[in-house]
Structures are given as C-alpha cells and as structure tokens.
A and B are shown apart, each in its own frame.
Chain A
Amino acid sequence: MSKKIVATTSLAGCFGCHMSLLDIDERILDLIELVEFNKSPIDDIKTFTKQCDIGIIEGGCCNSENVHVLKDFRKNCKILISVGECAIMGGLPAMRNNNASITECLEEAYLNCVSVQANEEKIIPNDEELPMILDKVYPCHEIVKIDYFLPGCAPRADLIWNALVALVTGNEMDLPYEVIKFD
C-alpha cells in the first residue's frame, strides 16, 4: 500500500490541536510509517509539492491570509478535516464576533491599554506588511467545503489517531457520543 499523503496547517488557532496530534506519543513513530507529510509545520515544505490525500485544518479564519491558505488546502487535498472548535466554529477567537468590533479591539490593545502610556502618536499597527483582518472570525466550512469534523478543544489525541488510521486504511471511524461535546 502506498503511503497516504497528509498536509496540516494552523490558521487562527492556538496550536493546541497540533499539540494534541503530538500527544499520540510513541505512535508518532508508527504514523511516519503510515503516512508521508507534505506541506505542514512539521517539515519545511512551504507550498504543496503534490496532490495530498488528507488535509488537517486547525483554527478558523480571522484574516485574509487564513482564507488564502484554506482555499489552497481545498485545492490540493482530497479530504479536508476541521480539527477542533476553532476550525469548526471559530472557537475562542470568534468571541470577538458578538462582543466587539475589530476597531474596538484594536483601540483596546494599542490606545487604551494600561501598559501603553507613551503612545503619543496614537499608533495602531497598519503596515502594508500586515494582512487584512476580517470583520468576523469565520469557521472553515463557511469558506470552503469541509469533509469531516473532529470536535474538542483540543480533540483528544486518541480521537485524532483513530480518525487518521480510519482514513488511511479506508475503514469507517468510530465517533462515540461522549466526544461530541465542546471539550
């Protein structure tokens, strides 16, 4: 059996979902026997070098760069999985959707902040090197089609492991009722 090719990315996530993937511990060594990694933070592959079987997405979309990366993943992966609450529903970063406008958030951080006493010029970062912030934080399936959703914050390591093994071996995965909740 040829190895399945896996790509991963972290959009507006905290990297906890990737950490949970690492929490499969010793099985990491089995995993690299089962799959080959393409574009992912675990290696140096910055752009897709080939068509991938599975794309693992952590985090929702909070800026233009996230949207760009997500669309690129859809184009290059047969199957996309939203891993964790941020990818599935925006997660913690999406608290800003209902709670505050992006302007208010920026003003709080750079103008009103108690430890920014000397910002006389009232600078708010806006350099052309910085990507555009979106009005809201979007879950991934509102941007592109997502094939599977793995719940949790972070999804427990066993769940990620089972999902990968199921997809790689072509078996149906077992998603017990208890894991279909926030945490």
Chain B
Amino acid sequence: MAKKITIEPVTRVEGHGKVTIHLDDNNQVTQSRLHIVEFRGFERFVQGRPYWEAPVLVQRLCGICPVSHHLAAAKALDVIVGAGTGDGLTPTGEKMRRLMHYGQMFQSHVLHFFHLAAPDLLFGIDGDPAMRNVIGIALTNKELAVQAVMMRKFGQEIIKATAGKKIHGTGAIPGGINKHLTEAERDSFLNGADPMNIDKMIDWSLGALDFFKGYHKNNKDLIDKFAAYPSNHVSLVRKDGAMDFYHGVLRGIDSESNKILDDIDYQNYLDYIDEEVKSWSYMKFPYLRSIGKKNGWYRVGPLARMNTAEFIPTPLAQKEFEIFRAYTNGKPNNMTMHQHWARLIEILHSAEMMKDLLNDPDLLKGELTVKGTKGNEGVGLLEAPRGTLFHHYRINEKDQITMANLIVSTTNNNIPMNKAVNLAAKQFMNGQTDITEGMMNAVEVAIRAYDPCLSCATHALGKMPLEIKLIDKNENVLDRMLKNG
C-alpha cells in the first residue's frame, strides 16, 4: 500500500523544516521533499526603514551566523554610500571586518563540526540516540567537549572585539567600521593563557583534521558514497582564484570543472541568477539562468569553495587543500559527506587568517571609514559559513529602503539538500516495511552535511528532533513513530 512518511520538525532556521517521503505499493520512494515551513516577510517590512539600519536589522534573521548578514548588508551599503564594492574601504575598515568574518567562520564551523556532526561520527548514524548529541560527547569525551567549547569561545571573543557584541553586534557601518582593536585585545588573542590563544587554535584545528582523516580511513563507504551526486558549484573567489570568504568575483563550475560563471562582478547577479517558487516550500529555488531551471541548480558552501578555488592563501590550509584535491585527482569533488572535510580545512584556514590579521598594525590605528558619492542601489555578497550570501538594497531620496532582496546560503542549497534527502531516503527506505530510527537519522545526516541554517536548532546544539508518519493513499495514519519520544 502506498504510504507517505513525514519527518517533522526537521529543524528550524527561520523556522521549521519537515520532510515528506512518499512510498508506492512496493515501498519504493516515489517522491521526497524538504519543506521550509516558516515565513518572515522581511523583504516587505524592512521597506521604509532608514538604510543604515539594515546591518543591525537583518542579522536578526539568524543568530547562528549574524555576522554574515551584518557584513553582507554593510557591503551592499558601502556601494550605496560610494565607498566601493569591497576594495574601496580603508585598510583598517577592511581588515577589521575580515577579522570579524574569519572569527565567525571559525566559531560557526566549529559549532557545526563538534556539536552537530561529530556525534554521528563518534556514536554512529544508528548509534544510541540518547547519547548521540553534544551532552553525550561531554559525558564520554570531556577533552573533546572542552576543546569544542573553547574553540567556539575564541571565535566569539574575536567577534566581540570587532563587532562590539558576540551576538548581533554593531561594528560594521556603511563605508567601514566603528572601532579599532585595542592592543590589550590583540595581545590576549595572540598570547593569551592556554588555551585561549591563536596558536592553540591552529593546533586544535590540525587535530580535528587528523580526527576526521582517521575516521575517513575506517569509514570510506559512508564518507565517499553516502548521498553523493554530481552538481554545479558556485562561490566567490579572489580575483586571482584564491579562496576568499569576504570578497571576490562569482565563479561557477560544473561537475566536470567547466566554467559556467566566469568570475563575474556580483553587482550584476540578476543577469545570471533567478529563483523558482514552488507551492510546497517557503524557501525559493535559485538556478543559473544560462542553464535553466532544470539543470541550473548549484551547490554552495565548503565543498563548493574547495572546488572553485585554485589555492588557499595560507600555508597549512594549502597543504590540506592539496591533499583534498588529490583525492579526486584534481577533479571537482561531488561527495556530499566531504563537506565535513572541507569545513575542517576552512577552520584551519580561518585560524591562520586570524593570526595574520592580528599581527597587522592596521587594526590598531588608521581611518575607520571612507565617504563617497551616494547612489541608490547596492549589492553585497560574501561567503558565509554555509555558502554564498546575497544582499541587495535600493533606497529613495529620503534614505529609506524601497527594496530588499536576500538570497541566503541555505536557499542556494535548497535543491542540493532535496537531492541528498532523496538519495538517503532511497538508499535506506526503498523496499523497507518498517522505518527505524537509524533510517530517519540517515535522512538527517544527509541534510546535516549542508549545515543548513534552516536547522539552527540542530546545527547549534545537537540533533534535529524528527517525527515520522506513515500515511496511506487515503491519508490514514498507519504508523507513527516519535524519535526517542
């Protein structure tokens, strides 16, 4: 008998997500969907607000990586106030923002890896759900838990020193930044008492990579094959092809490495990117216009960045990048679970970048902002932890916002996540009459590889609670299973 399986709530970002899986008479998966079920209406209600409020308002969409929204909005406003599109700021302005951004990449990736992904690796996809969370880690491996907490703390302290507050700071303003770093702050980040100093952070980042590589060696099937599929990849890269999270040109490649977005100026993103709307999700479905709705979708995030960048401009991360690229003989890597590996390399790169920036005297003194000729429209892009984030604003002569458009990282990954769900569902549920907890978690593991911010809950603190319903053609509930309920 045909059935529908509902997994709910998958998580929340801007709210909750849920998964529905339809099985036919032979228990074969015929359709699966990841629905995003919350809607905010931000684009409309921000209209009429003065433009300089955008960097502090918009970040309140997401408390997991507020710095991304804070800086993307500020970058769009840089264009509006005539301060250029990323390279027009003063050295102090740009470097303080970069430090803030790399601090947040560090803390957000750490949070995802240790609190969210590591429990699956340590306890197994079908491990005891009671233990398979961050508390389980704290109880069984205190050292790892302390490391996770202290690494996140370091990143949060960097954000506080540059943005003024750990969550929803105010540091970036149109045309620059509103503060310097003090010498005392710099010294404590560089030489703080163990473990709160940058060298320890680099050490621990290398340790986390070793942990993952060891795991990979023993679990090749899971890491290489699970929910893997070819796709396009998009990210910002520096003009010379280097990995850059803060600024660059937009590059896209297909699964064979052919360029499909040739280092474009993102002020013109509308010429290249469009979004499809589907009735069953509040999250839109972006695609490249040159390829079309059907095949123009793409992945963003750590894996995409590893594929689009030609090199990483810090030595330790570059070494790891070379190992990563050699694993697929230099071809684009399309293995979904390699997102975790890529994320760990980015943790290391972020730590190295923070160290370089902390040693830069421009942070301690120098002009904070630049002024220019005001315009009425600006686009700000950057690489958020989860991938490319787009902010676009227009203002009127009274300085009020008249149009706001956001394409957030997780939205860019909408189709990729749906693909991953479909593959996981097919692999684990095809032909099965009983749905087990482990099968449900497999679907989560596939979603979780993308660190979706629709799963703030999850991704922040542990695991997505799931509910699965089996419903027949006539919508009768046949079986209902609460995960650990």
Choose from A16, A43, A125 the contact partner of B463 (Cβ within 8 Å).
Answer: A43
Interface size bucket, A side?
A: 35 or more
Choose from B18, B167, B463 the contact partner of A44 (Cβ within 8 Å).
Answer: B463
- CB neighbours (8 Å) of B405 from chain A are 113-115
Instruction: Give Cα distance in the complex from A14 to B67, angstroms.
Output: 13
- CB neighbours (8 Å) of B41 from chain A are 96, 100, 102, 104-106, 108-109
Query: Which stretch in B94-102, B150-158, B414-422 binds the other chain?
Result: B150-158
Could you tell me if B280 and A125 are in contact, using CB atoms closer than 8 angstroms?
yes
Which of A14, A123, A130 gathers most chain B CB within 10 Å? A14
Q: Which residue of A lies closest to B133 (CB)?
A: A43
Nearest Cβ in chain B — how far from A145, in angstroms? 24
Given A17-B63, A46-B485, A116-B277, residue A127 in contact with residue B44 (CB < 8 A)? no
| A 141-180 binary contact with B (CB < 8 Å = 1; else 0) | 0000000000001100100000000000000000000000
Interface size bucket, B side?
A: 35 or more
| Residue B392, interface by CB 8 Å | yes
Q: Which residue of A lies closest to B48 (CB)?
A: A99
Could you tell me if B44 and A130 are in contact, using CB atoms closer than 8 angstroms?
no
Could you tell me if B167 and A118 are in contact, using CB atoms closer than 8 angstroms?
no
Instruction: Give Cα distance in the complex from A7 to B405, angstroms.
Output: 36
- CB neighbours (8 Å) of A93 from chain B are 40
| B 27-69 binary contact with A (CB < 8 Å = 1; else 0) | 0000001010111110111111000000001001111101000
| Residue B458, interface by CB 8 Å | yes
- CB neighbours (8 Å) of B461 from chain A are 18, 22, 40-42
- CB neighbours (8 Å) of B478 from chain A are none
Instruction: Give Cα distance in the complex from A28 to B152, angstroms.
Output: 12
* Interchain residue pairs A-B with the least CB separation, the first 4: A16-B63, A105-B41, A41-B457, A15-B456
- Further contacts, 10 of them, CB under 8 A, given A109-B44, A110-B277: A10-B12, A10-B457, A22-B460, A26-B150, A41-B461, A42-B134, A47-B485, A62-B38, A109-B43, A131-B16
Q: Show 12 residue pairs from A and B whose CB-CB distance is below 8 angstroms, ordered by the A residue.
A: A15-B12, A18-B457, A29-B142, A41-B458, A41-B460, A44-B483, A45-B484, A46-B483, A63-B38, A109-B39, A126-B279, A130-B37
